[in-house]
Each structure stands twice: as structure tokens, then as C-alpha cells.
Amino acid sequence: MNPNVIYLTVVILFMVALLVIGMLISRGVKNQKDWMVAGKSLGMLPMAGTYFATIVSAASIVSYMGYYYLKGWPGVWNCAGTFLTSFLACLWFAKRLRKAGCDTLPEYIASRYGKQLAMPASVLILVCTIALLAAQVTGGIVVLQSFVDWNNVTCCIVLLVVFLAFTAMGGMKAVAWTDTICSFVIIIGVWVMAVEFLGEIGGFTAMNEQVAAINPGFVQAFSVEIPPLTALSWVVTWGICNFGAPQFIARFFSAESPEIASRSQGLTGIGLLLFYIPLSIIGIGGMLLVPGIENQDQVFTTLVTTKLSPIMGAVLFAAVVAAIISTADSLLLLAASTFSNDIYAKLKPNVSDTQLLKVSRIATVVIGIGGVSLTFFLNEAIQFIQARAVTLMGAAMAILTMVGVVWKGANRTGAAASMIAGFATACIWYALGQPGGVMAALPAVIVALVVLVVVSKVTAPPPAEVVEKFFPEEVKGK
């Protein structure tokens, strides 16, 4: 049988199975809160699964693999921040954010710092989320065109229909459970490929010896292209800026309890470890098995179609489609929720819950079309499209999110100044071409933190009711 037929058949069967599961789960969606945050009912497994699958996007499989192929072991610094996010969330932030009782990141910002900051935050989230969605569509096109002879427009239409179907039918609860299934498929898929590669190369040690013979810098912690400051800025891009990316923060708000929100991050960290180890092996081993690939985003499909059997390749394609679907439906859900809950509902405060749910579903379609349309104007590697969008949101909101639940002195004036300063720093840094190879996240986060602290210190403290809501233990202890 033609390998392309096997690839397509397995991917279609997998998507149909996920769609049926999502439809069954969607029967329990009765109102806007059910659709947006699963009625705050997610337990440990779906919490960990949906967070993992949202982190592991088209960038993670398609683009990161190519990055490791081109950069060697120093390239692995680009995923270190994802572990930092889960570590920090598990120890301090997830539990505290869930206790805030909010449904969205703009709602949290409004509650902690004032309503005036919620609208600009919502608009920024909406714009950046559409860019993130475009990155998923780009990844989907790369995968589909490796085994079907479709042009970009046809691929975009197919992907849009799939994304909308998975998101609109059941909201967060359906997304969380289908994400969890995708998580297992993703981890199994990359391990299948990594074991296959190591077997052909002769083992882990042999792989590193052969890679060192090509370029000794490929087996070092840092390299000429990725010096320590660049590595640190990668860590900050995902480790800190993810706290300003609402597709991740929304998971904490959906947890059954603050304790579940916290503990699930420990489980997520294990899942990420089980994913990035084999992914690194595949990318680095791939430079030995199929040398000469120059396009970062073509490495994955080239390795799958040339080095794996059709059945194993089909499993991998199903895994990457799982990653793309899980991230895309999360982004669509986030964007629609942001528009309906944080923009539309604020402009029309008397709207009914039924109308709001309808608006959310319509917004899902419109935003999906916007993300697909943007794909035709983007030329960067998927990884860098995603990094820019997360950096811009993180520069404006990550420090506010984190500091807001650990320091009671942070106030509205400081938050407004921090948002502006962080976002402006990121934009300026990008305009300068990211000097020294340092990602924009590093200077932007430092500036945002310093401005928040300094301005909050020299202006009036936050209102007593805000302190009492977010720091009740300290208030009671006085």
C-alpha cells in the first residue's frame, strides 16, 4: 500500500475518534462557564493533560526538532523554560491563581489591579492569539503536504474546519479530555521514533561521538550561536513569559481546586520530560541519518518519510496532528472567551448567559478564519512566530500575573507602567534585531519587574479590599 495512503488513513481515523469523544463530552455544556472553564471541574489528569498538550504545539514537534537538528545539544535550551514554568507553578503560582476565583487572565488583572487595565490586556491577547493560531496552521500545512498533494488554500480550509469542530462543540471540558488523549499519543509517537533512531545509530553514546565529529560545539552546553545569554533568554521566553500567555493560565482557573491546580503541574513536568528527551534525540540523531536538510520546519517530515516504516510514520504524523489540534483548539477557546467575556460582555454588561455562549461560538469561527488568513503573510520558522507572540504577551502581563499573587504592594499605577514598559522594551528589542542573539523576553521581563516595583513603591498602596481578597492570610494575621 502507498505510504501516503497509510499516513492519511491513520490521521483521519484518529481525528474522527477524537471528534466523537469530544461530542460525547460536550453534552454536559449548559452555560458559558461550562464552555469557558469547564465549570471549574477539571481533575488532576485532564488538568495535566490539557496543559501539556497546549505547551506541546506545532512549534514543539515540527520546529523544535529542526532546531535541534541544526544546533545540536545547545539548542535544547529553548525548551528549558517550559520546565521552569511547571516548577514555579507547582511550588507557588498555580494554587494562588486558582484561589483568585477568576475565569480569564484579563479578569484576574481587573480584579487585582483595576478594570482600566483589562481592556488593553484583552486586545493584546486577542491579537497575539491569532498569531499563535497562524503558527499552528503553518505547522499543519507542513505536515499535510508531506503526504497529500494539496495546495496551501485547501490545507487551510481543512485545518480550519477541524479546529472549529473540536473547539465549538464542547469548550474547555471537551478540549481538556481530547488534549489528554493527544498527550499520550504524542509521547508514544516521539519515543517510537527516538528508539528507532538510536537503534540505527548504535546507541546514545555512539550518537554523541558521531555528532562531535561533525562539530564539537554540537555536544557542548553552549555554542558560538547559543552562548549563555542567549540560552538564558530562551529560558525566560518560555519560563516567565508563559505566565503572561493566557492559554496556559486559563488551565489553572479551570482546576477543580487550588490543590489540583498545583499538583497537576508536577505531573505536567514529568510529561514534558518524557517528551523533550526523545524529541532531542530525534533531532540530533537525524543530522547523522539524513544530513543536509536546511529548512528547520522540514526536518520532521523529511525524517519521518525517509527513515520510518509507514505504520510508525503514521503514528508520528498522528502525534503531530494531535499536538496541532490540541494547541489550536485551546487557542480558539481562549480567543473566543477573551472576546466574549472580557470585551463583548464589558461593552454590553446586561447580555444573558445564553447570548454570551452564542457570541463565543460565533467568535470562534471568525477568529479561526483570521488565524488562517494570517498564515499567508508569515515567513518565519514556526518556533519564532510562537516565541514572538508569547514574548509580547509575557512582556506586558507575566510579571503582573506572578507578582500579583506574591507581593501585596503591587498597585494599579505600577501595573500600568509595567505593562507599557515591558511591551515597549520587547518591541524596541525586536526592532533592533535582538542584539547579541538575546531574545527580547529577557530585557523586557527585567524592565517590567523593575518598573512595577519602583512605581508601586512611590505611589499609593493598593486598596484594602484588593489586599484582603488576594492576601487574606496576611490580613487575618494582623
Residues 6+ apart with CB under 8 A from 420: none
**What average pLDDT does this structure show over 450-462?**
97
> What letter would DSSP give residue 350?
T
Show Cβ contacts of residue 357 under 8 Å, excluding neighbours closer than 6 positions. Answer: 31, 32, 35, 340
State the average pLDDT over residues 122-134.
91
The CA distance from 241 to 244, in Å, is: 5
- Tally the residues of the chain: 478
Q: Kindly report the CA angle at 112 between 107 and 114, in degrees rounded to 5?
A: 80
Q: Cell 497575539 sits at which residue?
A: 128
Give the model's confidence band at 168: pLDDT under 50 very low, under 70 low, under 90 confident, else very high.
Answer: low
Distance CA 313, CA 253 (A): 37
Which one is predicted more confidently, 171 or 4?
A: 4
Q: What's the confidence (pLDDT) of residue 197?
A: 94
- 119 confidence band (pLDDT: 50, 70, 90): very high
Angle among Cα 30, 35, 38 to the nearest 5 degrees reads 95
What integer best gives the mean pLDDT of the chain? 87
SS3 state of residue 42: strand
285: helix, strand or coil: helix
Separation between Cα atoms, residue 24 and residue 144, nearest integer Å: 27
Contact 332, 367 (CB under 8 A): yes
Highest mean pLDDT among 20-29, 156-165, 235-244, 247-256: 235-244
Question: Can you give the pTM of this predicted structure?
Answer: 0.87
DSSP code of residue 150: -
Above pLDDT 70, what percent of the chain? 94
Q: Is residue 265 predicted with pLDDT exceeding 60?
A: yes
* The pLDDT of residue 212: 96
Give the model's pLDDT for residue 172: 66
Torsion of CA 455, 420, 108, 239, to 10 degrees: -100
Instruction: Give the model confidence (pLDDT) of 354-401 as tens digits.
Output: 788 788 888 888 888 888 889 888 878 888 888 999 999 999 999 999
Mean pLDDT of 252-264: 86
pLDDT in tens, 283-342: 999 999 999 999 999 999 999 999 888 888 888 888 778 778 777 877 887 788 788 888
Cell of 460: 499609593
